[in-house]
A and B are shown apart, each in its own frame.
Chain A
Amino acid sequence: MKKDGYKIVAVGLLVYQILMGLLGEVPRREILNESIRCVYFHVPMWFSMIAVLTASAYFSVRYLQKSQIEDDEKAVEYANVAILLGVLGCLTGSLWASVTWGDFWPNDPKLNSVAVGMLMYFAYSILRGSFEDEQKRGRISAVYNIFAFAVFIPLIFILPRLTDSLHPGNGGNPAFSDYDMNSQMRRVFYPSVVGVSLLAFWIAELRIRLKKVARVLSEKQ
């Protein structure tokens, strides 16, 4: 029960996110109008994706150090949840972009970087599929996972900032300044980020446990 505390927190925060995100007061801005509410749902996906990917890279490093099969299972499940969040982030972002920027997939460096990042993690799953031996699969995909993470981080944090982008925080646009978000919005936004991240870890934990059960069962046979 003690370990499950975070699930209660996650549910509470998500309920708060949905209620306040849809019903709370938001400032009126040109072009954005009511679609500014997307910030409560779209941005936390990316934040939690980064968190989950960091966890995945961490467990890959630990797998290389200790060669415990549990670490490999964790690394792959965190990466899977990150792919899910990335796809959801792309979908919500696409919807938002169609309203504000007039295109479902505008030519924006951040979008393209993220698409490339997703390709990298799809390649990671394909790489895993091409091995029979468990130890070999674990070690080699861990190497690729760390490599991909090290390329992914500059890809989405550094490169878009060097060129012009529609996203805030890039190409000289401000990010998280008072212009973007007032204190009223922050009170909903930060809890949403925490809530979605906790949900992501919850999903990953369930999948990890499922995998563990399947492994123990197959070992018994």
Chain B
Amino acid sequence: MASNVKLKHQNVPFWVIKLQEISTLIGKEITLEWRQRYALNGMVLYIVSTVYVCYLSFKLKTNQLNPITWNTLFWIILLFTAVSAVSKSFTQERAGRLLYYYTVASPQAVIISKIIYNSLMMSALSGLGFGFYAFVMNNPVQDVPMYLVSILLGSVGFASTLTLVAGIASKADNNGMLMPVLSFPVIIPMLLMVMKLSKNALDGLDRAQSLNEIAVLLAIDAIVVVLSWVLFPYLWRS
């Protein structure tokens, strides 16, 4: 199929075709999600109810929460949301449909489109989660734009790491248990970095001090995306 595409658009550069393929696949993901809205609504309800459970568990004395606990709790909520949101990205679709993608699209386009789509979904979910969390649990953040940047970087990082792991777990038989076991250790470096970054924002430190963390986060993201690009074709074949 790849060679067919090349023949058809001989004067269009290769990467333009790739980009078209990826954007088509992203469009497909969004359409699919919109058609079965219950999954998306379920995720929104998941994060909102988790935040509310935390709020009630602290016996409504959230103003006594110190900033470190506040920050850690928020990231743990996001981590669990990310794991359950991303793990459905391969199991949601039936085997027959996956076989169909296999014949029409390249594996790289599939994984990149899933990573981009999951990043978008996670950014939206965690932005919403932050809004609600700050609403009920007070908002001790001193540098809100920087905190939002850290949430964005964290969501993109979580989504890109978890997408490949979700692909791995979906191939196994009992993937419900496997997904957290496989993903938690892999995601910890990123979680530590993003918590440090958001702690800087929480304390309102000078932004120049956070550049180091941002660079490391972007580097880990780059490693993960490149690895997904290289490794996914092998996963796809089985």
Name the residue of chain A whose CB is nearest to the CB of B193.
A159
Q: Report if B19 contacts A (CB, 8 A).
A: no
Q: Does B164 count as interface, using CB distance less than 8 angstroms?
A: yes
B interface vs A, CB < 8 Å?
Answer: 164-165, 168, 171-174, 178, 181-182, 184-186, 188-189, 192-193, 212, 216, 219-220, 223-224, 227, 231, 234-235, 237-238
B207 to chain A, nearest CB (A): 18
Instruction: Say which residue of A126, A143, A151 sits within 8 Å of B178 (CB atoms).
Output: A126
In whole angstroms, what is the CA distance A123 to B193 when docked?
Answer: 22
What's the interface size class on A, roughly? 20 to 34
Set of chain A residues within 8 Å of B235, measured between Cβ atoms: 139-140, 143
Q: Which residues of A have CB within 8 Å of B168?
A: 127, 140, 143-144, 147
Interface stretch of the complex, out of A1-9, A17-25, A113-121: A113-121
B220 touches A154 (CB 8 A): yes
Known contacts A119-B184, A147-B227, A150-B227; A127 and B220 CB within 8 A of each other: no
Contact in complex: B173, A155 (CB < 8 Å): no
A143 CA to B172 CA in the complex, in Å? 13
Indicate if the CB atoms of B181 and A139 lie closer than 8 Å: no
Taking a contact as CB atoms under 8 Å apart, the answer to whether A144 and B182 are in contact is yes
Q: Which of A143, A148, A154, A158 has the largest number of chain B CB atoms within 10 A?
A: A143
Query: CB within 8 Å of B: which of A97-125?
Result: 113, 116-117, 119-120, 123
Whole-angstrom distance between the alpha carbons of A126 and B193 in the complex? 27
Q: Which 4 A-B pairs have the closest CB atoms?
A: A119-B185, A120-B185, A130-B172, A143-B231
A132 to B173, CA, bound (A): 9
Question: Out of A117, A143, A150, which one reaches B223, CB within 8 Å?
Answer: A150
Bound-complex Cα distance A98 to B203 (A): 34
**Contacting residues, chain B, for A126 (C-beta < 8 A):** 178, 181
Q: Are A142 and B234 in contact (CB under 8 A)?
A: yes
Contact A123 B174 (CB under 8 A): no
Q: In the docked arrangement, what's the CA distance between A131 and B168, Å? A: 12
Q: Does A146 contact B (CB under 8 A)?
A: yes
Q: Is A135 an interface residue (CB 8 A)?
A: yes
Q: A64 in the interface, Cβ–Cβ < 8 Å?
A: yes
A162 at the interface (CB under 8 A from B): yes
Establish whether residues A154 and B172, one from each chain, have CB atoms under 8 Å apart when the complex forms. no
In whole angstroms, how far apart are the Cα atoms of A43 and B62 in the complex? 46
CB nearest to B172 among chain A residues:
A130
Count chain A CB atoms within 10 A of each CB in B173, B219, B227 and give the residue with the most: B227
A147→B189 contact, CB < 8 A: no
Interface residues of A in 138-168 (CB under 8 A from B): 139-140, 142-144, 146-148, 150-151, 154-155, 158-159, 162
Partner of A136, one of B171, B184, B186: B171
- Rounded to whole angstroms, the CA-CA distance of A120 and B183 in the bound complex is 9
The smallest C-beta distance from B175 to any residue of chain A, in angstroms, reads 8
In the bound assembly, the distance between CA atoms of A144 and B185 in angstroms comes to: 12
A162 to B223, CA, bound (A): 18
Q: Would A159 and B192 be within 8 Å (CB), given that A117-B185, A120-B186, A139-B235 are in contact? A: yes
A147 contacts across to B, CB distance below 8 A: 164-165, 168, 186, 227, 231
Output the least CB separation between B1 and chain A (Å): 22
| A57 CB to nearest chain B CB (Å) | 12
Whole-angstrom distance between the alpha carbons of A144 and B182 in the complex? 9
- Decide: A146 and B227 in contact? CB cutoff 8 A: yes
- Complex interface residues of chain A between 66 and 122 (CB less than 8 A to chain B): 113, 116-117, 119-120
Q: Kindly list chain B residues whose C-beta atoms are within 8 Å of the C-beta of A120.
A: 185-186
- Contact of B216 with A158 in the complex, beta carbons under 8 Å: yes
Scoring B164, B173, B189 by chain A CB atoms within 10 A of each residue's CB, the highest score goes to B189
* Interfacial chain A residues near B193, Cβ < 8 Å: 159
* B178 close to A127 (CB less than 8 A): yes
Most buried by A among B164, B165, B182: B182
Please list 25 pairs of residues, one from A and one from B, whose beta carbons are closer than 8 Å in the complex, sorted by A's number.
A113-B189, A116-B188, A120-B186, A123-B182, A127-B178, A127-B182, A130-B172, A130-B173, A131-B171, A139-B234, A139-B238, A140-B171, A140-B172, A146-B227, A147-B164, A147-B165, A148-B186, A151-B189, A154-B219, A154-B220, A155-B189, A158-B216, A159-B216, A162-B212, A162-B216
